[in-house]
Chain A
């Protein structure tokens, strides 16, 4: 199986009275194992000509079995970035059919979060010509 690492560095010289310098690295494994995640979508880059509403970028497992991801006992990870320029054109990240809002990614912002494969991940974009990149690291049902 593959070995994938994800590192986050959070730094600031002045957001507190002392410098912040946090660095954490995770090895991306299948749920409750030391076996690495074995599937990757690659990094998808899309430029949307028009503003998008509830655009599905990660499709949850569906009844047809034709698409989506293994669900529930999984350790999938999702990456999304607003690759637009400027400062005002935001991407709204949403979960599920009711489009529950997680938050907004302004230009340059990225997010990385666990995904259990039961809810679609959708985005709204606030303007035309916005560039978004996204990817999923996931686990197959192979042992």
Chain B
């Protein structure tokens, strides 16, 4: 099986009274297992000509659900600072807004679609799913 790692580095010289720097690395494995995730969509890049409303970017039907350890990566690749992407789980459950340059990395259970809403034209996005098959 594949070996995939996800590393997060958070740093700031001035958000607290002292330097803050944190690095966390996770090896992406199947649920309750040391076996690596074995599926990946690749990184999809899209530029939406028009504003989007609840556009499905990750369809629940494409994935095994419930006892899983899927991961979702999404990034707003637009420029400027105002054209946000509203990320929602199915039925308008708002996760939050990704402003240009912002990214997110979340666990995904496979039971709800992941959707995006944009407010402007020509908003660009990239996303990918690391997931587990039912192969042991």
Contacts and interface: CB of A to CB of B under 8 A. Distances in A.
Contacts of B84: 31-32
A116 B97 contact: yes
Q: How large is the interface on A (under 10, 10 to 19, 20 to 34, 35 or more residues)?
A: 35 or more
Interface in A7-41: 7-16, 20, 22, 24, 26-29, 31-34, 36-38, 40
Interface of B: 2-16, 20, 22, 24, 26-29, 31-34, 36-38, 40, 42-43, 68-73, 75, 81-82, 84, 87, 89, 93-99, 101-109, 111-112, 130
B96 A103 contact: no
A20 to B, nearest CB: 7
B99 A2 contact: no
Interface of A: 2-16, 20, 22, 24, 26-29, 31-34, 36-38, 40, 42-43, 74-77, 79, 81, 87-88, 90, 93, 95-96, 100-106, 108-116, 118-119, 137
B103 A8 contact: yes
Contacts of B98: 114
B16 A96 contact: no
- The prevalent SS among residues of B at the interface is strand
Given A6-B8, A111-B106, A12 B31 contact: no
Contacts of A13: 3
Contacts of B34: 87
A103 B106 contact: yes
B95 A113 contact: yes
Given A31-B99, A103-B72, 7 more contacts: A2-B14, A79-B10, A87-B33, A100-B93, A100-B112, A106-B31, A109-B26
B89 A93 contact: no
